[in-house]
Amino acid sequence: MIRALAVFLLAGGVAALAQSDFPAAANGSVRDNIYTNSFFRLRLELPKPAGNAILNEVRQDHEQQGRVLTVTYGGAERYTFGITILRRTNFPTLRSLTPFVRSVRHNFEREGQELVSAEAPVKMAGLDFVRTVLRDVKSQVPHLHEVECTELRGYIMCFELEAETEERLSELSNLNGKLTLNVPSP
């Protein structure tokens, strides 16, 4: 399910710069259901109930991109919450995030997901995001699938969320009060 964005994006990357800050960018940690990343200087309160967090599940340092966090919870309020980062310079002709998110959406549509809402701008936690929502009706458990991307410190950062209900997806996708930027490095 959620790994599709990471695989799609990683397959389309271009050669990276000679000097890379990617290892630092990908170096986050989870403690007490809080994801922190000193490179991005962010702190993110993860969804509740707390799920199983996996760091750097898919990572390609030479392409300066990867899935830096995946959180899954399989209980009654099942969800998946992931963060993928991609070096912005890997997409030199990209003028805005809208066509980027649209291409991600088209990939999911080719896999059989149905459009719920097309790319739209949204502001959360002081950042400008582009968001799209799809419905995956072909999986064993039909669910909603949201992708929301922003630009931060030379990277495209995409949050990918999956939930069975619109209410749960809305809870997961609202980063206001959960995402804090400019957190001092330890």
CB 15 within 8 A of CB 65: no
Residue 138: predicted pLDDT: 85
SS3 content of the chain, % helix, strand, coil (to 5): 20, 45, 35
Residue range 40-59, pLDDT digits in tens: 999 999 999 889 999 987 77
Strands 155-163 and 79-87: antiparallel
Q: Residue 113 and residue 115: Cα distance in Å, rounded?
A: 7
Question: Which domains are present in the chain?
Answer: 3-181 (3.40.1000.10)
As a whole number, the mean pLDDT across the chain is: 86
Residue 125: predicted pLDDT: 92
Residue range 99-155, pLDDT digits in tens: 999 999 999 999 999 999 999 999 999 999 999 999 998 888 889 999 999 999 999
3-class secondary structure, 95: coil
Residue 5: predicted pLDDT: 58
For residue 72, CA distances in Å to 1, 46, 78, 99, 156 come to 11, 11, 8, 28, 22
Residue range 57-101, pLDDT digits in tens: 777 777 788 899 999 998 888 899 999 999 999 999 999 999 999
